[in-house]
Amino acid sequence: MTKDVLVSISGLQMAVNDMENNDDEPIEILSAGTYYFKDGKHYIFFEEVAEGIPGVTKTQIRLKGKESLEVRKKGLSNVNMIFEKNKNNRCFYQTPFGQLNLGIFTSEIVVEETEENINVKAEYTLDVDYEPLADCTIRINIKPRDSKEFSIHEKMNF
């Protein structure tokens, strides 16, 4: 994998509470970033800009094989989310609108890795202050920036 990459992240949250009528729209981010592999771990760095809010959030993704996924954000939002299969991890998510106490129980992490592509999928349950909030899926795709096969509408095979 090259140093200069394109990072595509899509997430879907399905409300646990049946009384909430959400359309379950996916959230998608596409950004240019930087990739490193060191000590058996993949590191991806990129910046996010929130619509309508000035400022930047710097994001780091650390992937350790098929064992764990860590997402760190610093800037407008601050959080260190850890996804480990069959484990419940807690974190504080600081947003411009206040702080949330999040619980993340990861039921599955799937990683597909080739020389020119990394696909990651994590399925997890999210709670806020120990109250169930949503069943979630996050998909991450990392490709070289000059990849001819990159498409914003590309579907992952899992």
Give tens-digit pLDDT for 33-73: 999 999 999 999 999 987 788 889 999 999 998 889 999 99
Compute how many other C-beta atoms are within 10 angstroms of the C-beta atom of residue 83. 23
Measured CA to CA, the distance from residue 122 to residue 23 in angstroms comes to 21
Mean pLDDT, range 139-146, rounded to an integer:
94
Mean pLDDT, range 7-14, rounded to an integer:
87
Measured CA to CA, the distance from residue 151 to residue 34 in angstroms comes to 18
Give tens-digit pLDDT for 83-116: 999 999 999 999 888 999 999 999 999 999 998 9
Whole-prediction pTM value? Answer: 0.86
Give tens-digit pLDDT for 38-47: 999 999 999 9
Mean pLDDT, range 122-140, rounded to an integer:
95
* Domains present along the chain, CATH in parentheses: 4-144 (2.40.128.20)
* Closest listed residue to residue 138, CA positions, set 14, 8, 27, 11: 11
CB neighbour list of residue 151: distance below 8 Å, 6 or more residues apart: none
Backbone φ, ψ for residue 56 (5° rounding): -130, 150
